Amino acid sequence: MKGLQLLATGGALPGRVVTNEDLRRQVDTSDEWITTRTGICQRYYCTENEDAATLAITAARQALTRSGLAANDIACCVVATLSAPTATPSIACRVQAALGLPENRPAFDVNAACSGFIYAAAAAHGLLSTLGGRYALVIGSEALSRMVDPTDRTTCVLFGDGAGAAVFELAENAPFAVTLGARGSEAIRAGGPAACDTAPITMDGRAVFRFAVEAMPRCLQAVLDRSQKTLSDLDWVVCHQANSRIIDHCVKSLHAEPSKFYKNISRHGNTSAASIPIALHEMAESDLLRPGQTLACIGFGGGLTWGGMLLTYEGGK
């Protein structure tokens, strides 16, 4: 079976840093309240001239450059987002135009909220397997600051903006496994692009926490079982960065080594579909990712949705 392996990453963060102290002046909250409950210290917000599409283009261009490939090598472009500036053209189509990707290749957005990057990678794997081609560009990009109620202290402290991109290669006998799922629920709800001002993100925090601490270990175990590997075979576990306590709970329930679970939530907050690829890019930039390492990526979030993926990193050569 042919599987995906990660060749290169890219990232983009918007120009405005918003600290917990900034939010304390906006709503009835405190740095202590936010950090002890979420692990978040700051997040990034888009400036007036930035949105999920501009961030995606920047991250995608960097990933393509670092892969050493040409635009013509990319067989498909899939973008995970729930905060596209327009329903159409999609962000993926904007990326296609900006990077000069071939016009006879598929480009589209998917929305599985915080699980979106895993869904997008699975879609790219299917496209490469059925339509042909060797390389896929997969992006997670969000501008969630434009979808929150700035007066709702239960949600406005959580979310941030950013984008991460990955170039994947379809390779023979590459270790690979994926699992996806959904359970229709309005525990997390957000209005569509046309309703961002009138239907901001709402969330039943307790319900989401209960869901996440059950879904994440189950997802991880599913990809381990499908790939016939164990937790000790993994070099890294890269989870959706929603809440530091959720990741800690997963580590404890699995009796896992905490150092295998990458965290960057303190710097970025919850960036939904962008959180996993942003983390991968940071890890590649800091040389934490090494060629031949085995990774598990686990996403969970609105929908409710979940997804897990096991693959190898082959970049940096």
Assign 3-state DSSP to the chain and report helix, strand, coil percentages, each to 5.
Answer: 40, 25, 35
**Among all chains, which residue has been given the structure tokens 């961002």?**
196
Dist. CA 27–CA 175, nearest whole Å? 47
114 catalytic residue (yes or no): yes
Exactly one of 20, 111, 243, 270 is catalytic; name it. Answer: 270
**Among all chains, which residue has been given the structure tokens 């309240």?**
33
Dist. CA 196–CA 264, nearest whole Å? 27
**Could you tell me which of 137, 158, 171, 113 has the C-alpha nearest to residue 300?**
113
Dist. CA 268–CA 191, nearest whole Å? 22
CA distances from 282 to 136, 167, 262 (A): 20, 15, 10
Exactly one of 240, 243, 250, 268 is catalytic; name it. Answer: 240
Exactly one of 46, 93, 114, 297 is catalytic; name it. Answer: 114
CA distances from 206 to 37, 84, 86, 252 (A): 12, 28, 32, 19
46 catalytic residue (yes or no): no
49 catalytic residue (yes or no): no
Dist. CA 185–CA 218, nearest whole Å? 19
Dist. CA 45–CA 292, nearest whole Å? 35
Judge whether 307 and 219 are in contact, CB under 8 Å.
yes
Active site residues: 114, 240, 270
